[in-house]
Amino acid sequence: MSLSIGILGLPNVGKSTIFNALTRAQNAEAANYPFCTIEPNKAIVPVPDLRVNKLATMANPKKVVYATVDFVDIAGLVKGASRGEGLGNKFLANVRETDALLHVIRCFEDENVVHVDGSVDPMRDIDVIETELILSDFQTLETRAQRMEKLARNDKKLAEQLAGVKRLLAHLGEGKPAVSFSEHDTDDIQAFLKESPLLTDKKIIYCANVDESGMAEDNEWVKAVRAYADSKGADTVKICAKMEEDLIGMDEAEAAEFLKEYNVTESGLDQIARTGYHTLGLISYLTAGPKEVHAWTIHRGWKAPAAAGVIHSDFERGFIRAQVISYNDYITYGGESGCREKGLMRTEGKEYVVQDGDVVEFLFNV
């Protein structure tokens, strides 16, 4: 499994520039006018992971595979998008299948970069986007409910689900996101949302895009975004899109020195990947050997058989046991043989909850 993030925001807030920087390639045209992205840009990006690098140095494998993030860059939305203004809401369909949304918000002044509403106001911009997401979900849900009406006449179970859907529709009609619906976690609503994902049911990471001068400390706009995100229980990242773009083409040492000049310790991709994992409750475990060093993404709290299943369904179906070494022990004692000698390789069964950074070998039989 991989983490999938849709990048949203008003036109000219830096979405495509951030996308270019994150993917380390100029895949999305960045221009000083609205709607320069007229088709969704998609990219699969390896997640930087020093643990993978270290294991690869020790194991010298033929292949190294990092965990990945799928990024989808969507054309800028404007007020009225749900009614067809600007490029309309057709692009929103492209992010309905993503795991989370990265909402890019402009938090800098620049007379050379046009703001679609004529001035910088992060809270207004957030309200515009989130209102459009709710309106888009309302239309989607209304259409779905109308289809369910006919089928529910002779299906009692479906009729009960429809009643819940109508209550969710009323909730959206009050300008509230699906995620805050009081019946959100009931079986009927969860089953419905799995089949018909809604934008306002997704986790949001608020991304404050600043200029170089805004990296040292938060300006008032960034503070406002952080306070709003905190009130929603959401995560925030602060990025300078221009600075991230300048990183393109630098090697690891050059990038580290460049970031140090701005008193920044990690790149935008590092920040977003780390925050995305935290937001969605994801972790990575590792496998290491002469053929391959591989990072595997799972949900925090998964037990060993489910974790094995991301490698292959046969691993989960025929799970016998897992041989587990903590990452720190693996590095400290020189790998599997050293850990085995120290008694630090553990045999774990079906109830073992896999931990972030575990180095694992699964035994199975099918």
Q: Which residues contact 130 (CB under 8 A, 6 or more apart)?
A: 177, 200
**CA-to-CA distance for 130 and 190, rounded, in angstroms?**
22
**CA-to-CA distance for 8 and 92, rounded, in angstroms?**
9
Kindly tell me the number of DSSP H helices and DSSP E strands found in the chain: 13, 12
**CA-to-CA distance for 18 and 30, rounded, in angstroms?**
9
**What does residue 338 show for φ and ψ, rounded to 5 degrees?**
-65, -40
Widest distance between CA atoms in the chain: 68
Q: What is the mean pLDDT of the chain?
A: 87
Please tell me the pTM assigned to this model: 0.85
Contact 199, 98 (CB under 8 A): no
Instruction: Mean pLDDT check: name the lowest of 87-91, 140-144, 288-292, 336-340.
Output: 87-91
Q: Which residues of 176-194 are buried (b: 16+ CB within 10 A; e: fewer)?
A: ebbeebeeeeeebbeebbe
Over residues 284-313, mean pLDDT: 96
Q: pLDDT digits over 230-260, tens only?
A: 999 999 999 998 888 888 878 878 888 988 8
Exposure of 48 in the CB half-sphere (CA atoms within 13 A): 13
| Model pLDDT, residue 213 | 86
**What does R_g of the chain's alpha carbons equal in angstroms?**
23
Q: Can you list the domains of the chain with their CATH numbers?
A: 3-279 (3.40.50.300), 301-364 (3.10.20.30)
**CA-to-CA distance for 101 and 302, rounded, in angstroms?**
23
| Model pLDDT, residue 35 | 43
Contact 209, 190 (CB under 8 A): no
Helix (H) or strand (E) holding 21: helix 15-23
Identify each DSSP E strand in 165-288 by its residue range: 203-209, 235-239, 282-288
Residue 16 amino acid letter: S
Q: pLDDT digits over 78-101, tens only?
A: 565 555 554 445 566 677 778 999
Q: Select the more confidently predicted residue: 12 or 237.
A: 237
Strand 203-209 versus strand 235-239 pairing type: parallel
**CA-to-CA distance for 24 and 9, rounded, in angstroms?**
20
Helix (H) or strand (E) holding 191: helix 187-195
pLDDT of 26 over the 70 cut: no
Structure token pair of residue 225: 């975004």
pLDDT of 18 over the 80 cut: yes
Q: pLDDT digits over 176-198, tens only?
A: 999 999 999 998 899 889 888 89
